[in-house]
């Protein structure tokens, strides 16, 4: 049952009379009201997290794994109520809701399995050598310990997999860190339901009060106050470059700076070779149209730029891309703010005199949008860095290059990306070696002959990349190695076995 209140540890709290409403983006109907967290509630949530930290971090890996598994079970028990609420708050279809719920539970279970094998601690032992000359060698044990309470920001485009019980929360809890979530205002009811599942799981498995809190807000004040709180030791964020950079700067200015692991903007370039275009141009065009329109383009890995070299089949490829795009129905965006931002940036792009609009259906009513395709040549692309800005929505830009040398120059000019894709044929491999060499320094994941949308949750996945794709390209926000963000190394020297953690 929804309350509209904040979870401050185990306690439901609604100190603030200021509220905001959950809105159905498809109908623009207003639903439940949610109490905005006060500074006092933030303070209390962080205080509880700090107090619970020593007890929770000392839990055995089996106990923490049991907690994570219990969260997954409780989310599953929410059943149809969660699915209906998700769809009502996002305008997304039931199949997407069920798929994301399965992914969320899968992530929790994956971390539970992973921490049972203590290899994740990256431990290394040096044996003592008291007879070493000229100085005795001490016994050293290198291991990893959790860094402390973590602030997690829910993402607008993934109400389950990247929000309340998403990868940031799951990996932090797996590491032994209590979590305070700042829920996203686009899906507060979904967030509260999932938060209730986490609290229920915590109580059932004997976790301390304060191991998890969930705070409501529809402004930047609560998030800002949370990141600046001296007891918060790290931040997980998925969202825009503007918001992620603001949080990063806030954390850096603290008396004690803390890490902000933000996954931010990316245009996820796709390189389509001439041979691939000649052999299977229609198929590639259909795949691209499906990818940049998927979920109304509201995926962090949506392909926003397509690079290709001028060739005899380019005109046919453009027609096929436009045709494939026209066959995709208009879709609902997650909220009015995202729709307005999409329209603004899109209009800025198509007002550029060097850009040719290939497919543009005009602005739709409400929060509905249709796919947009534009075209520009590489020389004009080089002249305007703003053309590398992510357009969050169903938008892609075809950049045509005179030759492979110019295409490589375009690749070299790119900012950091989450992904980059290469669509090519085997006979071109020798010519494309330099292209691959260049692109590997621009992206966290390089994909061959398929689209970038879709992020496998596995040990081999990297979901991150050079700035501005993320704030630290050495880490991933997807997959079990995401746990490393919330750990720090520590060495124990000459410690007796009975005192080691």
Instruction: Please state, in angstroms and rounded to a whole number, the distance separating the CA atoms of residues 248 and 263.
Output: 11
In the set 87, 177, 300, 401, the catalytic residue is 300
**Cβ of 290: how many Cβ atoms within 10 Å?**
16
In the set 41, 74, 192, 263, the catalytic residue is 263
Active site residue 300: yes
User: If you write DSSP's letter for every residue of 213-265 in order, what string do you get?
Assistant: EEE--SSHHHHHHHHH-TT--EEEEES-HHHHHHHHHHHHTSSS---EEEE--
| Coil vs helix vs strand at 8 | strand
Instruction: Please state, in angstroms and rounded to a whole number, the distance separating the CA atoms of residues 438 and 452.
Output: 18
Per the rule left: phi > 0, alpha: psi between -120 and 50, beta: everything else, 482 is alpha
Residue ranges of E strands in 338-465? 356-359, 368-369, 372-377, 395-401, 417-423, 443-448
Q: For the chain, give the number of residues.
A: 501
* Contact criterion met (CB below 8 Å) for 251 and 260: yes
* Contact criterion met (CB below 8 Å) for 419 and 427: no
Cα atoms in the Cβ-side hemisphere of radius 13 Å centred on 90? 28
Cα atoms in the Cβ-side hemisphere of radius 13 Å centred on 318? 21
**Cβ of 55: how many Cβ atoms within 10 Å?**
14
List Cα–Cα distances, 384 to 92, 233, 378, in angstroms.
34, 38, 10
In this structure, is the dihedral angle defined by the CA atoms of residues 284, 285, 291 and 294, taken in order, positive or negative? Answer: negative
Crossing angle of helices 94-116 and 61-90, rounded to 10°: 170
The set of catalytic residues is 263, 300
């Amino acid at each position: 049952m929804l309350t509209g209140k904040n979870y401050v540890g185990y306690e439901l709290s609604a100190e603030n009379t200021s509220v905001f409403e959950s809105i159905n983006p498809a109908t623009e109907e207003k639903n439940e009201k949610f109490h905005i967290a006060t500074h006092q509630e933030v303070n209390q949530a962080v205080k509880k997290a700090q107090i619970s930290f020593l007890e929770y971090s000392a839990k055995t890996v089996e106990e923490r794994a049991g907690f994570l598994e219990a969260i997954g079970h409780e989310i599953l028990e929410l059943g149809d109520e969660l699915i209906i609420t998700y769809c009502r708050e996002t305008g997304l279809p039931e199949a997407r809701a069920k798929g994301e719920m399965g992914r969320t539970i899968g992530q929790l279970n994956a971390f539970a399995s992973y921490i049972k094998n203590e290899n994740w601690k990256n431990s290394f032992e040096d044996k003592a050598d008291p007879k070493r000359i000229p100085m005795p060698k001490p016994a050293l044990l290198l291991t990893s310990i959790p860094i402390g309470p973590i602030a997690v920001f829910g993402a607008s485009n993934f109400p389950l997999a990247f929000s309340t019980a998403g990868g940031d929360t799951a990996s932090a809890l797996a590491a032994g860190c209590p979590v305070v979530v700042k829920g996203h205002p686009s899906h507060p009811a979904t967030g509260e339901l999932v938060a209730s599942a986490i609290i229920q799981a915590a109580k059932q498995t004997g976790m301390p009060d304060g191991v998890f809190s969930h705070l409501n807000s529809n402004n930047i004040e609560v998030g800002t106050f949370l990141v600046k709180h001296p007891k918060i030791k790290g931040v997980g964020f998925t969202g825009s470059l503007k918001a992620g950079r603001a949080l990063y700067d806030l954390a850096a200015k603290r008396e004690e700076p803390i890490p902000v692991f933000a996954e931010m903007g990316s245009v996820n370039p796709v390189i389509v070779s001439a041979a691939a275009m000649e052999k299977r141009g229609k198929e590639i065009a259909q795949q691209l149209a499906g990818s940049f329109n998927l979920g109304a383009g509201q995926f962090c890995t949506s392909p926003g730029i397509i690079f290709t070299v001028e060739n005899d089949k380019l005109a046919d490829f453009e027609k096929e891309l436009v045709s494939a795009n026209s066959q995709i129905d208009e879709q609902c965006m997650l909220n009015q703010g995202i729709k307005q931002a999409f329209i603004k940036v899109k209009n800025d792009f198509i007002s550029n005199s060097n850009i040719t609009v290939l497919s543009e259906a005009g602005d739709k009513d409400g929060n509905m949008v249709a796919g947009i395709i534009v075209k520009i040549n590489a020389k004009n692309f080089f002249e305007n860095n703003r053309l590398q800005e992510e357009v969050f929505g169903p938008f892609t830009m075809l950049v045509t290059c005179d030759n492979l040398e110019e295409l490589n120059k375009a690749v070299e000019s790119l900012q950091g990306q989450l992904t980059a894709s290469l669509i090519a044929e085997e006979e071109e491999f020798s010519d494309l070696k330099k292209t691959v060499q260049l692109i590997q320094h621009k992206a966290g994941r390089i994909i061959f002959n398929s689209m970038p949308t879709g992020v496998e949750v596995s040990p081999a996945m990297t979901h991150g990349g050079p700035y501005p794709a993320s704030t630290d390209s050495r880490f991933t926000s997807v997959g079990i190695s995401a746990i490393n963000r919330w750990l720090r190394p520590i060495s124990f020297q000459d410690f007796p076995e009975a005192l080691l953690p």
